[in-house]
Amino acid sequence: MSTSDLQSSSAGSTPSGVSIVTIDSLARNVGATVVLRGWLYNRRSSGKVHFLEVRDGTGMVQCVMGKNDVDEATFAAADHLSQETSVEITGLVKAHPKRPNVFEVAATGLRVLGKPSGEYPISPKEHGTDFLMDNRHLWLRSKRQHAILRVRHTIIRTIRDYFDGLGFTLVDAPIFTPNACEGTSTLFETDYHGDKAYLTQSGQLYMEAAAAAVGKAYCFGPTFRAEKSKTRRHLAEFWMVEPEVAFMDLDGDMDLAEGLLVALADRVLTERREELAILERDTSKLETVKRPFPRIRYDQAVAIINEHRRERRAKGETNQDGSPVEDFPWGEDFGGEDETVVSNRYDRPVMVHRYPAEVKAFYLKRDPEDARLALGVDVLAPEGYGEVIGGGQREDDLATLEAAIEHHKLPKEAFEWYLDLRRYGSFPHAGFGLGVERSVAWLCGLPHVRETIPFPRMLSRLAP
């Protein structure tokens, strides 16, 4: 089999010369006799006609087998096929008699390639999430999960195309890191030949080094958080893309983030219409993701939250625990609920910038116009999907950065290499991190991030 065969979505031909095709190429093969290879998704029968629904990873097709079209043994065999039997079906490609633009295969031959040794666990009826997650390796075969995998793939490819197209260089960051840096989140600890090592929570510091080498750098890999978070927005292992650009300021950073999200929505809408339909995604909510995104200051976001809280108080509402609704205290970070209140004001992602420095990471540059603020930005996705991007301009002054490290009580020795970036030709620079799973959840309209990654790692799940 050659590469060109694969690219033309024809997987070769049988000894008798019949071409082996994939389901997504049936439209081009109407009137031809072809061979399909795949798995039986569902089977129906009307006595003298069997309807075999077959999936092959590129799509789904109904194969019709009339009693008079095949020999008796083949017809009898088709009657006893169970779900997920792998099969090779030979037949004539035809238009569906009732449905426009749908094709079916009039089967003339059937070969069973792999017979299930037992009952397939996932029946075409409803199941609970925990059961499906226990069978995640099989659940991936279902229509919805297949659609999500494809959208995820498109999102990842778009991210790479976007940065590659802008002249970025991919620079991989390490997974093992020597110290529990940044001091913020809880890390997974591991034994590294007798020393303690931690699984990375971000490649950002390394990208700052890379930016000084290549100008525009990005890394794309898994990151790990050991917090005991049990919500629909959290995973213990998730993927993040982190661009870092030399001589870019906060405004440029926001331009870059905005362009990426517009590209993602646009590409998913053009290339994954079918998948979004399977997921029943309201695509009108994605059509509005166009430039420019609103850019509001932290102060304005606080005002929006307080306006909302005052309305709730006026209606006599209380918090979930029954406590009275208080004004949002300036200086704190937003909770999930607050983010939703802000993002619900807009029909596209909103960028909230200039947060209080105290609630943000030590490496963010102070706002020259207001020392209480940091030049950071969070991008909140619409519909309550929360923060999909966090970033900002980095502190490029050696003394200020040293003071920040001391203020956060971080071990200075561990950051000597990072401080070197300010010692040898310091430069203004900025970047951000985009969480892939939250982006997939948003673009697909999924209620939980656990379905956005093939094999999720969560507080109470390490298998399969």
Partner RNA sequence: UCCAGCUUAGCUCAGUCGGUAGAGCAGGUGACUGUUAAUCACCGGGUCGCUGGUUCGAGUCCAGCAGCUGGAGCCA
Please list every residue from 84 through 123 that binds RNA, using CB under 7 A.
96-99, 104, 106, 119-121, 123
Nearest to RNA of 125, 193 (CB atom): 125
Query: Smallest gap, in angstroms, from Cβ of residue 193 to RNA?
Result: 28
Nearest to RNA of 6, 102 (CB atom): 102
Tell me if 126 contacts RNA by CB under 7 A: yes
Q: Do residues 91 and 33 make contact, with C-beta atoms less than 8 angstroms apart?
A: yes
Tell me if 83 contacts RNA by CB under 7 A: yes
Cβ neighbors of 1 (< 8 A, separation 6 or more) are 11, 12
Tell me if 386 contacts RNA by CB under 7 A: yes
Q: Where do we find the tokens 């619409």?
A: 382
**Interface stretch with RNA, choices 147-155, 233-241, 275-283, 405-413 (CB under 7 A):** 233-241
Q: Where do we find the tokens 């399909």?
A: 36
Query: Smallest gap, in angstroms, from Cβ of residue 460 to RNA?
Result: 3
Residues in the chain: 464
Query: Smallest gap, in angstroms, from Cβ of residue 167 to RNA?
Result: 26
Per DSSP, 458 falls in state B
> Considering only residues 87, 236, 296, 352, which one is a binding residue for RNA as defined by CB under 7 A?
236
**Restricting to residues 363-382, which ones interact with RNA according to CB under 7 A?**
378
- CA angle 355–396–351, rounded 5-degree value: 30
Tell me if 433 contacts RNA by CB under 7 A: yes
Q: Do residues 383 and 404 make contact, with C-beta atoms less than 8 angstroms apart?
A: no
Query: Smallest gap, in angstroms, from Cβ of residue 462 to RNA?
Result: 9
Number of CB atoms found within 10 A of residue 230's CB: 9
Write out the E strands in 7-160: 10-13, 19-21, 33-45, 49-55, 60-66, 86-95, 103-114
- Amino acid at site 360: K
Query: Smallest gap, in angstroms, from Cβ of residue 389 to RNA?
Result: 7
**Restricting to residues 321-340, which ones interact with RNA according to CB under 7 A?**
333, 335-337
**Restricting to residues 250-289, which ones interact with RNA according to CB under 7 A?**
none
> Considering only residues 6, 30, 80, 331, which one is a binding residue for RNA as defined by CB under 7 A?
80
Cα Rg for the chain, rounded, in angstroms? Answer: 27
> Considering only residues 191, 320, 368, 369, which one is a binding residue for RNA as defined by CB under 7 A?
320
Tokens of 371: 């020392």
**DSSP states along 268-334:** HHHH-HHHHHHTT--THHHHT--SPPPEEEHHHHHHHHHHHHHHHHHTT-B-TTS-B-PPPPTTSPP
**Interface stretch with RNA, choices 12-20, 27-35, 235-243, 423-431 (CB under 7 A):** 235-243
Query: Smallest gap, in angstroms, from Cβ of residue 196 to RNA?
Result: 20
Tell me if 450 contacts RNA by CB under 7 A: yes
- CA angle 274–258–170, rounded 5-degree value: 85
**Restricting to residues 128-187, which ones interact with RNA according to CB under 7 A?**
128-131, 133, 184-186
Tell me if 44 contacts RNA by CB under 7 A: yes
> Considering only residues 404, 435, 444, 446, which one is a binding residue for RNA as defined by CB under 7 A?
435
Tell me if 64 contacts RNA by CB under 7 A: yes
Q: How far apart are CA 226 and CA 180, in angstroms?
A: 12
**Contact characters 288-317, RNA, x per CB under 7 A:** ------------------------------
Tokens of 365: 């540059």
Residue 433: its H or E element: strand 429-435
Backbone angles phi, psi at 388, to 5 degrees: -105, -20
Nearest to RNA of 89, 212 (CB atom): 89
Tell me if 48 contacts RNA by CB under 7 A: yes
Tokens of 219: 């890394």
Nearest to RNA of 126, 195 (CB atom): 126
Tell me if 407 contacts RNA by CB under 7 A: no
Tell me if 416 contacts RNA by CB under 7 A: no
Tokens of 289: 């993701």
Residue 377: its H or E element: strand 370-381
Query: Smallest gap, in angstroms, from Cβ of residue 329 to RNA?
Result: 12
> Considering only residues 11, 33, 51, 271, which one is a binding residue for RNA as defined by CB under 7 A?
51
